């Protein structure tokens, strides 16, 4: 079938809106009509050419919601008409990782997904007869996309897709990192570095966990207002200080914070986030994605003296089992999604969504098909 799509033909180039061909779903696959998709910084990261797994030409996008159009052979968990959120972290329920009870990092389709291919090693997308790669198992920048059955969460059909598409990545990542990775407790102190969609979702999660002090840190002070609305108690712009930012946070708190979260993808800030964690027990969660070849460092003494360095992917959330419940939470108002959507636009304007992100003017732009 034909589908309108925003194609990244080469790194560093604007997306091109073209009509692509989408082949029918094969065994274990599902054809989805995407209704709404957010634009996440990770899409920009891969488009920049800095992602070791980046392959071109590709249909990006991984924060979407849609409706099932057709299912391939053997698919039983969804049927045409079901409302779904595509998952870049699949959940097969059968692999060593799914069965471990220790992680959400299912490996069922991860190897082919990282190569931009469907689980059988081929692609369902083409343009003028030339193959196009898939992205993160989702490719939500196409009106029609094909994903593996294990990469789909079935959600309440009454849910507002313009909002719940953000549970496909950003908001789930931030809230999940608070509850599943850091396990923030009532009264804990928290520092959040980077106040985009991810950092603001961390703040919302910290508020849910009844954290005490929530310190919001960003070099763009325009982000502080929404951070305050979500529950941040303190606001720090590193540009206002001569001292290293970790020293500023330690001086504000005495011994540092119980939990810090890096939501930028900057390895220098990752170090600062670790070093502002409380001596003896403070922990720092890396959420931001750093470019190819980047490495983190600190003095080992920082760990010897009780700080812990953690990481979190998709907030540790198991998509098929837990995302439907998070959609219900959003519908009840227990997760507040509307303030994240600062812009909505059609597919033709998608490059503006990237511009707004880079200019620090948006939290989430949602593309409406
Ligand atoms: P974003 O661009 O919307 O927000 C980043 C924020 O960081 C901006 O407000 C920016 O002003 C701020 N910032 C930049 N440099 C800074 C600095 N030196 N000090 C303080 N603030 C600074 O991005 P986003 O969509 O919120 O994504 C954030 C990061 O999280 C990206 O690296 C993205 O790839 C990653 N991510 C990871 C996961 C995961 O599962 N681990 C999921 C989604 C996104
Ligand atoms: N492809 C990159 C790594 C990218 C990465 O870390 N992705 C995050 C999700 S970002 C969503 O916006 C993630 O979940 N990683 C776990 C996984 O299995 O991909 C690289 O460095 O190669
Ligand atoms: Zn994302």
> Does ligand 2 come within 6 angstroms of the Cβ of 103?
no
> What residue owns the CA closest to ligand 1's atom 25?
41
Tens digit of each residue's pLDDT (9 = 90 or more) over 219-269: 999 999 999 999 999 999 999 999 999 999 999 999 999 999 999 999 999
Strand segments (E) across the chain: 2-7, 16-22, 29-38, 63-71, 83-86, 125-127, 130-132, 144-148, 152-155, 190-193, 214-217, 234-236, 259-262, 283-286, 308-311, 341-346, 364-368
Q: Quick one: pLDDT at residue 250? A: 98
Confidence category of residue 357, pLDDT binned at 50, 70, 90: very high
> Does ligand 2 come within 6 angstroms of the Cβ of 48?
no
The Cα 259–Cα 327 span in angstroms is 26
Task: Return the SS3 of 276.
Answer: coil
Probe ligand 2: pick from 11, 40, 42, max atoms within 8 Å of CB? 42
> Does ligand 1 come within 6 angstroms of the Cβ of 40?
yes
Tens digit of each residue's pLDDT (9 = 90 or more) over 124-167: 999 999 999 999 999 999 999 999 999 999 999 999 999 999 99
Q: What percent of the chain has pLDDT over 90?
A: 100
Tens digit of each residue's pLDDT (9 = 90 or more) over 54-83: 999 999 999 999 999 999 999 999 999 999
Q: Quick one: pLDDT at residue 236? A: 98
The mean pLDDT value of the chain amounts to: 98
Confidence category of residue 117, pLDDT binned at 50, 70, 90: very high
Q: Quick one: pLDDT at residue 28? A: 98
Q: Quick one: pLDDT at residue 361? A: 98
Q: Quick one: pLDDT at residue 232? A: 98
Determine the distance separating the centroid of ligand 2 and the alpha carbon of 289, expressed in angstroms: 7
Tens digit of each residue's pLDDT (9 = 90 or more) over 85-110: 999 999 999 999 999 999 999 999 99
> What residue owns the CA closest to ligand 1's atom 35?
288
Q: Quick one: pLDDT at residue 351? A: 98
Using a 10 angstrom Cβ sphere, with 0-12 exposed, 13-18 middle and 19 or more buried, the burial of residue 329 is middle
Interface predicted TM-score (ipTM) of this complex, two decimals: 0.99
Confidence category of residue 7, pLDDT binned at 50, 70, 90: very high
Tens digit of each residue's pLDDT (9 = 90 or more) over 300-332: 999 999 999 999 999 999 999 999 999 999 999
Task: Return the SS3 of 46.
Answer: helix
> Does ligand 2 come within 6 angstroms of the Cβ of 313?
yes
């Amino acid at each position: 079938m034909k589908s309108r799509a925003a194609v990244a033909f080469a790194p560093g180039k604007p997306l091109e809106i073209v009509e692509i061909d989408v082949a029918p779903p094969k065994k274990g696959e599902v054809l989805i009509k995407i209704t709404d998709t957010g634009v996440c910084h990770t899409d920009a990261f891969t488009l920049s050419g800095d992602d070791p797994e980046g392959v071109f030409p590709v249909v990006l996008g991984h924060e979407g919601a849609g409706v099932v159009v057709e299912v391939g052979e053997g698919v039983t968990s969804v049927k045409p008409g079901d409302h779904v959120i595509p998952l870049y972290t699949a959940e097969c329920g059968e692999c060593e990782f799914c069965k471990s009870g220790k992680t959400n990092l299912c490996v069922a389709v991860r190897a082919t997904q990282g190569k931009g291919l469907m689980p059988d090693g081929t692609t369902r997308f083409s343009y003028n007869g030339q193959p196009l790669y898939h992205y993160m198992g989702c490719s939500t920048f196409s009106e029609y996309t094909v994903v593996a059955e294990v990469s789909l969460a079935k959600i309440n059909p009454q849910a507002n897709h313009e909002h719940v598409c953000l549970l496909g990545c950003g908001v789930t990542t931030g809230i999940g990192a608070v509850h599943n990775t850091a396990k923030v407790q009532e009264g804990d102190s928290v520092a959040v570095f980077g106040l985009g969609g991810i950092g603001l979702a961390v703040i919302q999660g910290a508020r849910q966990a009844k954290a005490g002090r929530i310190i919001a840190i960003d070099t763009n002070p325009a982000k502080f207002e929404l951070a305050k609305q979500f529950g941040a108690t303190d606001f720090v712009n590193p540009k206002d200080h001569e001292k290293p930012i970790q020293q500023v946070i330690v001086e504000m708190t005495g011994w540092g914070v119980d939990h810090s979260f890096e939501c930028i993808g900057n390895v220098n800030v990752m170090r600062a986030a670790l070093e502002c964690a409380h001596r003896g027990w403070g922990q720092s969660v890396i959420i931001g994605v750093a470019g190819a070849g980047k490495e983190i460092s600190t003095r080992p003494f920082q760990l010897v003296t009780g700080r812990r360095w953690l990481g979190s992917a998709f907030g540790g959330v198991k998509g098929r089992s837990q995302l439907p419940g998070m959609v219900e939470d959003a519908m009840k108002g227990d997760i507040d999604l509307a303030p994240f959507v600062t812009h909505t636009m059609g597919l033709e304007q998608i490059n503006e969504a990237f511009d707004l992100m880079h200019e620090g003017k948006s939290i989430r732009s949602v593309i409406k098909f």
